[in-house]
Amino acid sequence: MYEIVAFYLFSALTIGLFLVTVLSKNVLYAMTSLAAGMVLISGFFFILGADFLGAVQLVAYVGAIMALYSFAMMFFDATRDIKEKNTNPALVFLLGGLSAVVLVLMFAAPIHSDAIQALYPMHEGVGNAQDVGIILFTKYLVPFEVAALMLLVAMISGIILAGKKMDQSLTEDMSADDEILTQKDEK
């Protein structure tokens, strides 16, 4: 019973929040609704019994990635609405709707599911984190190390790309700086 209520609540809220993300003109609204939707997606993972994945989603997505986005948003002018000229909105919605129909048909199609057997089955009476740890450090050890190396490369490239000319102001108009200076003078 709780599972049904939670599933429908989470799915309705997630779809609504992601629609706000995709359709909003304001970067701040889009980012906050994206963060809230990611928190609710970790709720899906907790319903599904993937506790460790839910915790990783909260820590990595909501913690790290959204902090990176909000950090990058400070470089750009976030208060102004984004002006986007859409050349042909009808065509875009037609294409998106057609792809949605194809996807739903693909996922709802009957599959020969008896032939699928679990490669790494979950164990009874063992917590999800222990199970994940055993599989991750035996069968998936090489991809795990490669992922660690990839994150290191990404960190270095992020530092190098963003760190150049940090002492220069990004925004062209200096009116904000002048405003701060005049306020200081008045004091």
Partner 1 sequence: MIGLSHYLIVSALIFSIGLIGVLRRRNLLMLFFATEVMLNAVNIAFAAISHYYNDLAGQMFAFFIIAIAASEVAVGLGLLIVLYKKYGTLDLDDLASMKG
Q: Are 18 and 34 in contact (CB under 8 A)?
A: yes
Contacting residues for 47 by C-beta, under 8 A, at least 6 apart: 3, 6, 7, 10
Which residues within the stretch 67-126 sit at the binding site for partner 1 (CB under 8 A)?
Answer: 68-69, 71-73, 75-76, 82, 84-86, 89, 92-93, 95-97, 99-100, 103-104, 106-108, 116, 118-122
Based on CB atoms, which residue is closest to partner 1, 168 or 183?
Answer: 168
Q: Nearest approach, Cβ of 41 to partner 1 (angstroms)?
A: 5
Which residues within the stretch 25-64 sit at the binding site for partner 1 (CB under 8 A)?
Answer: 27, 30-31, 34, 37-38, 41, 44-45, 48-50, 52-53, 56-57, 60-61, 64
Contacting residues for 21 by C-beta, under 8 A, at least 6 apart: 30, 31, 33, 34, 37
Which of 112, 165, 184, 187 binds partner 1 (CB under 8 A)? It is 165
Integer Cα distance of 18 and 41 in angstroms:
11
Which of 28, 155, 176, 180 binds partner 1 (CB under 8 A)? It is 155
Nearest alpha-carbon partner for 80 in 163, 176, 181, 158:
176
Helix pair 27-47, 2-23: axis angle to 10 deg: 160
Based on CB atoms, which residue is closest to partner 1, 123 or 179?
Answer: 123
For position 161 contacting partner 1 by CB under 8 A, the verdict is yes
For position 147 contacting partner 1 by CB under 8 A, the verdict is yes
